[in-house]
Amino acid sequence: MIRKILVAALYSCATVVALTAELCPPDGSDPPPAAPPPSSPPALVPATQSYVTGLSFPVALSAPLLDPRVFIVEQAGLIRIAEDGVLRPQPFLDLRGQVIFAGEQGLLGLAFAPDYRTSGLFYVNYVGTNRNTIVARYATSADPDLADPASAEVLLAIPQPFANHNGGHLAFGHDGYLYIGMGDGGSGGDPGNRAQNDATLLGKMLRIDVGGGHGSGYSIPPDNPFAGGLLPLPEIWAKGLRNPYRFSFDRVFGDLYIADVGQSRREEVDVEGFGSPGGRNYGWRLMEGKDCFNPPSNCNDGTLTLPVHDYAHAAGRCSISGGHVYRGAVPAIFGHYFFADFCSGEVFSLVWDGAGGIVELANRTAELAPPGGFRSITGFGEDGFAELYIIQFGGGVAAGDVFKVVGVPAVADVSTPTAMGSAPIRSLRRRP
């Protein structure tokens, strides 16, 4: 609850975020008072507008701070630039010659260095033609709209025993370190028990220091939970993950939100507050969500960290696509973590309680979906000004799309919950 109050206190800071995209100071302090605000600004409710269409299997979107461009990752290996809703024909980077594009394999993640404006460095995560997960650093060329393909520097090459569960996301924490989500290696049920094996990077969240610049590889942050030892491997930040396909850091608090894709029964959201020492065990394959998996009972010896929220495979739901804590310009959803289900096309939001649970949960589909609803949602993204985007999978005739979350004036018809969309997920989950 304290966190909720903090969120409310930071709201005026949120307006600053929207205008400048500067991160709020941790103490939530505001700039000196300016002109008085309008006496009765119209209440806004969230909605979406089409931002870009005609994409080929988009899976991720990112942007450097304060940059008006967004960079869209297409699974086959292209990074494309859009600005003001216009997709540019010339890709920023073309990795199609070295990426496997099939099923869950492909170019999956993109992260810009916190100092991108001066360094021009960025990081990608893809499954290479040798079936390794590759984490590589690239530099931007003299043309800011073109990466330099010859600048590639492979930082990690992690063999993938099966084609699925490649994780794929990577993002910088507020500590300046690069976090990398690794799936359990694939198949089903984690047959090699890799997520619990400290001698493999599969089924883990990794944390590395890439601050040395181009050509310098990476190092182990001295405060990594297993730094300095041989086992567990020192890159490991957390273990017990099945397929953390998408995760993110709250722009204001720096908290880590992991959406871990479940096996066949439950999807989950894990949250780790900023300042955590790491070393958590998120449970897989002992547990799937809050249920025992293998073994089917007595699976938790008390050392496992349970999700703050999980949900069942019901009503067409099958696979979580994690998003972001909303820090854009719509006050009503400021501080809400957004996520989706790939199969049902639903979008949800929750508010973490700062401990082991949540205080709010909402089905946002009716507010946000285009007419006819979303098809498969592969993820979310934030632009350089903290605005949120939703990525709809597709290619060819049924092309992929990016929608931007915006605020529209509240009217009765919009804000009234509908039978389908705005009903709380809790009630839906009670269905058999």
The least CB distance from residue 283 to Ca ion, in Å, is: 4
Q: Kindly report the backbone phi and psi dihedral angles of residue 103, in degrees, each rounded to the nearest multiple of 5, phi listed first.
A: 55, -120
The least CB distance from residue 207 to Ca ion, in Å, is: 18
* Sites of contact with Ca ion (CB under 5 A): 282-283
The least CB distance from residue 287 to Ca ion, in Å, is: 5
Nearer residue to Ca ion within complex by CB, 266 or 404:
266
Beta bridge partners of 181: 205
Nearer residue to Ca ion within complex by CB, 251 or 266:
266
Selection from 197, 199, 128 nearest residue 166 by Cα: 128
The least CB distance from residue 205 to Ca ion, in Å, is: 12
- DSSP letter for each residue of 273-329: -TT----EE--TTTEETTEE-SSSSS---S-BPPPSEEEES-TT---EEEEEE--SS
Nearer residue to Ca ion within complex by CB, 64 or 283:
283
Nearer residue to Ca ion within complex by CB, 190 or 401:
190
Residue 208: other Cβ atoms inside 10 A = 22
The least CB distance from residue 127 to Ca ion, in Å, is: 23
First-to-last CA distance in the chain? 32
The least CB distance from residue 155 to Ca ion, in Å, is: 27
Nearer residue to Ca ion within complex by CB, 287 or 388:
287
Nearer residue to Ca ion within complex by CB, 158 or 258:
258
Beta bridge partners of 248: 257
Q: Kindly report the backbone phi and psi dihedral angles of residue 385, in degrees, each rounded to the nearest multiple of 5, phi listed first.
A: -120, 20
Q: Which amino acid, one-letter code, is at 187? A: S
Considering Cα of 287, then 291, then 296, then 300, what sign does the dihedral take?
positive
List Cβ neighbours of 130 (8 Å cut-off, separation of 6 or more).
none
Nearer residue to Ca ion within complex by CB, 283 or 335:
283
The least CB distance from residue 72 to Ca ion, in Å, is: 30
Tokens in use for 33? 């008072």
The answer to whether 156 touches 180, Cβ cutoff 8 Å, is yes
Beta bridge partners of 93: 79
Nearer residue to Ca ion within complex by CB, 282 or 374:
282
Nearer residue to Ca ion within complex by CB, 247 or 282:
282
The least CB distance from residue 284 to Ca ion, in Å, is: 5
The least CB distance from residue 413 to Ca ion, in Å, is: 40
The least CB distance from residue 269 to Ca ion, in Å, is: 10
The answer to whether 235 touches 229, Cβ cutoff 8 Å, is no
Nearer residue to Ca ion within complex by CB, 253 or 282:
282
Chain residue at closest Cβ approach to Ca ion: 283
Selection from 139, 72, 134 nearest residue 99 by Cα: 134
The three-point CA angle 174-403-141 to 5° equals: 55
Considering Cα of 206, then 211, then 213, then 216, what sign does the dihedral take?
negative
List Cβ neighbours of 345 (8 Å cut-off, separation of 6 or more).
365, 369, 373, 374, 375, 376, 377
